């Protein structure tokens, strides 16, 4: 069996969305907590920077938060490494 190594492909960003890249050294138990922290720290989008827990929860309920094109759940765990999260606007 050949060991071809892992190829890493950045998922395509949906139209009308804001992408945030999350880099983790260790796995985290909940996406919502990590995402809110990352949004508050980023400087690319002021309205996203001022995101509240309530607004973020609403985005999850409305399936506006995607990972690899799939709607994400607030309680989803995150693996270490790089995760691309798209928020539909």
Contact, 84 vs 33, CB < 8 A? no
pLDDT in the model for residue 4: 53
Could you write out the DSSP letters of every residue in 5-45?
-----PPPPPTTEEEEEEEESS-BS-HHHHHHHHHHH--S-
pLDDT in the model for residue 1: 45
> Residues of the chain whose pLDDT is less than 50?
1-3
Rounded CA separation 48/56 (Å)? 10
Rounded CA separation 13/40 (Å)? 21
Domain 17-88 CATH assignment equals 3.30.56.10: no
User: pTM for this structure?
Assistant: 0.89
Give me the residues paired with residue 71 across strands: 66
């Amino acid at each position: 069996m050949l060991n071809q190594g892992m190829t890493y492909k950045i998922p395509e960003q949906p139209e009308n969305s804001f992408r945030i890249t999350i880099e983790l050294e260790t796995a985290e138990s909940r996406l919502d907590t990590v995402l809110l922290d990352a949004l508050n720290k980023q400087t690319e989008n002021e309205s996203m920077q001022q995101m509240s827990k309530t607004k973020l929860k609403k985005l999850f309920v409305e399936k506006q938060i995607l990972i690899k094109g799939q709607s994400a759940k607030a309680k989803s765990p995150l693996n270490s490494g790089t995760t691309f999260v798209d928020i539909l606007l």
